[in-house]
Structure 1
Amino acid sequence: MDSSIESTSAAKNADEESRRRRMGDIVLNTPEPPALWHEISVSIKEEVFPRSSEPFSLLTWILSAAQGLFPVLQWGRSYSFKYFRSDFMAGLTLASLGIPQSIGYANLAKLDPQYGLYTSVVPPLIYSVMGTSRDIAIGPVAVVSLLLSSMVQKVVDPTADPIAYRKLVFTATLFTGIFQASFGMFRLGFLVDFLSHAAIVGFMAGAAIVIGLQQLKGLLGINHFTNKTNIVSVIKAVWVALHQPWHYGNFLIGCVFLIFILCARFMARRNKKLFWLSAIAPLLSVILSTLLVFVMRADKHGVKIIQHVTGGLNPSSVKQLQLQGPYVGECAKIGLVCAVIALTEAIAVGRSFASINGYKLDGNKEMIAMGFMNVAGSLSSCYVATGSFSRTAVNFSAGCKTTVSNIVMAVTVFIALQLLTRLLYYTPVTILASIILSALPGLIDVKEVCNIWEIDKMDFLTCIGAFLGVLFGSVEIGLSAAVIISFAKIIIRSIRPHIEMLGRIQGTDIFCSIRQYPTAAQTQGVLLIRIDSSFLCFMNANFIRERITRWVMEECDPNDKKPGEKIHSVVIDMSTVMNVDTSGTAAVGEMHKELLFLGIQLAIANPGWQAIHKMKRAGLVERIGGEWVFLTAGEAVRACLAAKDAACGC
Structure 2
Amino acid sequence: MPNSSAFKEEIIIDYENVSHKHQTQEFLRNLPEYTKEYIISLFPIASWLHRYNLMWLVRDLIAGATVGIVIVPQSMGYAKIAELPPQYGLYTAFVGLCVYCLFATSKDISIGPTAVMSLLVGQTVTRIVSSDPTITGPEIAVALSLFTGIIAMFIGLVRLGILVDFIPAPAIAGFMSGSAITITIGQMPKLFGIKAVNTQVSSYLIFGNFFKHLPETKVDVAFGLVSMVWLYGVRYACQVLGRRYPKYSMHFFFFSIMRNGLLVIFGTLLAFLINIGKETSPISILKTVPAGFTAMAIPTIRTEVISGIAPSLPSGVIILILEHVAIAKSFGRINDYTINPDQEIIAIGFTNIWASFFGAYPSTGSFSRTAIKARSGVKTPIAGIFSALIVLLALYALTPAFYYIPDAVLAAVVIHAVADLVSGPSYVKRLAAVSLWELLIFVATVIVTFFSTVEYGIYASVGMSIVILLFRIARPRFWGLGRIPLSSSVHSVSYEDEKKQQIITSELQNYLYVHEQHPSLGKFVESLPDGILMCRVDESFTYPNSSFISDKIISYCKTRTRTSGKILSKGDRGWNDDSTPATIAARNNLPRLHALILDFASVNRLDSSGLQAIVDAQNTLNRYSGHHVEFHFVNILHPAIRRCLIVAEFGTQPRPGDSRKEVLPIVPASRDGPQRNNSHQQPDTENQIDSSDEDEKAVRTEFVEFQGGILLPKDRYPFFHWSADEAVRSAVDSLSILQTLEESGELEDEQVAPTGNVPSSH
Deviates more, 1:580-589 or 1:543-552: 580-589
1:78 and 2:51 correspond:
yes
Deviates more, 1:179-188 or 1:268-277: 268-277
Q: CA deviation at 1:386?
A: 1.5
**SS of structure 2 residue aligned to 1:604:** strand
Q: In 2 relative to 1, CA 407–582 (structure 1 residues): closer, same or farther, beyond 3 Å?
A: closer
Find the aligned partners of 2:159 and 2:22 in 1 and give their Cα distance: 18
Q: CA RMSD in A?
A: 3.3
Higher relative contact order (CA 8 A, sep 6+): 1
Instruction: Choose from 625, 630, 634 the match for 1:603.
Output: 630
Find the aligned partners of 1:346 and 1:510 in 2 and give their Cα distance: 46
1:181 and 2:153 correspond:
yes
Identity of aligned residues (%): 26
Q: Are the equivalent residues in 2 in contact too, given 1:390–1:439 (CA < 8 A)? A: yes
Instruction: Choose from 606, 631, 635 the match for 2:720.
Output: 631
Task: Give the match for residue 530 of structure 1.
Answer: 535
TM-score by length of 2: 0.73
Instruction: Choose from 533, 539, 547 the match for 2:544.
Output: 539
The C-alpha deviation readout for 1:65-123, integer Å capped at 9, x for no partner, is 67533333332222222222222222222111111001100111111010111112122
Find the aligned partners of 2:135 and 2:439 in 1 and give their Cα distance: 42
Q: Are the equivalent residues in 2 in contact too, given 1:218–1:430 (CA < 8 A)? A: yes
1:169 and 2:141 correspond:
yes
Task: Give the match for residue 279 of structure 1.
Answer: 257
1:297 and 2:260 correspond:
no
Q: Are the equivalent residues in 1 in contact too, given 2:315–2:459 (CA < 8 A)? A: no
Q: In 2 relative to 1, CA 559–431 (structure 1 residues): closer, same or farther, beyond 3 Å?
A: farther
1:462 and 2:489 correspond:
no
Q: In 2 relative to 1, CA 228–293 (structure 1 residues): closer, same or farther, beyond 3 Å?
A: closer
Q: In 2 relative to 1, CA 251–495 (structure 1 residues): closer, same or farther, beyond 3 Å?
A: same
Q: Are the equivalent residues in 1 in contact too, given 2:152–2:345 (CA < 8 A)? A: yes
Letter in 2 for 1:521: E
Find the aligned partners of 1:630 and 1:600 in 2 and give their Cα distance: 17
How do 1:607-622 and structure 2 match up within 5 A?
609-611=639-641, 613-614=643-644, 622=655
Task: Give the match for residue 107 of structure 1.
Answer: 80
**SS of structure 1 residue aligned to 2:629:** strand
Q: CA deviation at 1:140?
A: 0.7
Q: CA deviation at 1:613?
A: 4.6
**SS of structure 2 residue aligned to 1:503:** strand
TM-score by length of 1: 0.85
Q: CA deviation at 1:38?
A: 9.2
The C-alpha deviation readout for 1:370-393, integer Å capped at 9, x for no partner, is 211111111111111122111112
1:550 and 2:555 correspond:
yes
Find the aligned partners of 1:40 and 1:258 in 2 and give their Cα distance: 63
Q: Are the equivalent residues in 2 in contact too, given 1:170–1:317 (CA < 8 A)? A: no
Q: Are the equivalent residues in 1 in contact too, given 2:621–2:629 (CA < 8 A)? A: no
Find the aligned partners of 1:167 and 1:208 in 2 and give their Cα distance: 26
More helix by share: 1
Task: Give the match for residue 484 of structure 1.
Answer: 463
Q: In 2 relative to 1, CA 593–566 (structure 1 residues): closer, same or farther, beyond 3 Å?
A: closer
**SS of structure 1 residue aligned to 2:195:** coil
Q: Are the equivalent residues in 1 in contact too, given 2:531–2:561 (CA < 8 A)? A: no
Q: Are the equivalent residues in 2 in contact too, given 1:174–1:335 (CA < 8 A)? A: no
Q: In 2 relative to 1, CA 88–383 (structure 1 residues): closer, same or farther, beyond 3 Å?
A: same
**SS of structure 1 residue aligned to 2:405:** coil
**SS of structure 1 residue aligned to 2:350:** helix
Task: Give the match for residue 343 of structure 1.
Answer: 321
Task: Give the match for residue 408 of structure 2.
Answer: 430
Q: Are the equivalent residues in 2 in contact too, given 1:185–1:364 (CA < 8 A)? A: yes
Q: Are the equivalent residues in 2 in contact too, given 1:306–1:427 (CA < 8 A)? A: yes
Q: Are the equivalent residues in 1 in contact too, given 2:119–2:183 (CA < 8 A)? A: yes
Find the aligned partners of 1:573 and 1:108 in 2 and give their Cα distance: 56
In the alignment, structure 2 segments of 5+ residues that lack a partner are: 1-9, 243-248, 486-508, 563-583, 660-682, 686-690, 692-716, 744-762
**SS of structure 1 residue aligned to 2:108:** coil
Q: Are the equivalent residues in 1 in contact too, given 2:186–2:206 (CA < 8 A)? A: yes
Find the aligned partners of 1:289 and 1:308 in 2 and give their Cα distance: 17
Deviates more, 1:635-644 or 1:391-400: 635-644
Task: Give the match for residue 703 of structure 2.
Answer: none
Task: Give the match for residue 4 of structure 1.
Answer: none
The C-alpha deviation readout for 1:463-496, integer Å capped at 9, x for no partner, is 1121111112221221111112212212222222
1:571 and 2:571 correspond:
no
Q: In 2 relative to 1, CA 593–352 (structure 1 residues): closer, same or farther, beyond 3 Å?
A: closer
Q: Are the equivalent residues in 2 in contact too, given 1:538–1:584 (CA < 8 A)? A: no
Letter in 2 for 1:599: G
In the alignment, structure 1 segments of 5+ residues that lack a partner are: 1-18
Task: Give the match for residue 515 of structure 2.
Answer: 513
Q: Are the equivalent residues in 2 in contact too, given 1:179–1:336 (CA < 8 A)? A: no
Letter in 2 for 1:639: S
Find the aligned partners of 2:141 and 2:629 in 1 and give their Cα distance: 64
**Number of aligned residues:** 609
Task: Give the match for residue 304 of structure 2.
Answer: 326
The C-alpha deviation readout for 1:247-282, integer Å capped at 9, x for no partner, is 421112111111101111212333243112222111
Task: Give the match for residue 157 of structure 1.
Answer: 130
**SS of structure 2 residue aligned to 1:127:** helix
How do 1:343-492 and structure 2 match up within 5 A?
343-446=321-424, 447-492=426-471
Q: In 2 relative to 1, CA 221–33 (structure 1 residues): closer, same or farther, beyond 3 Å?
A: farther
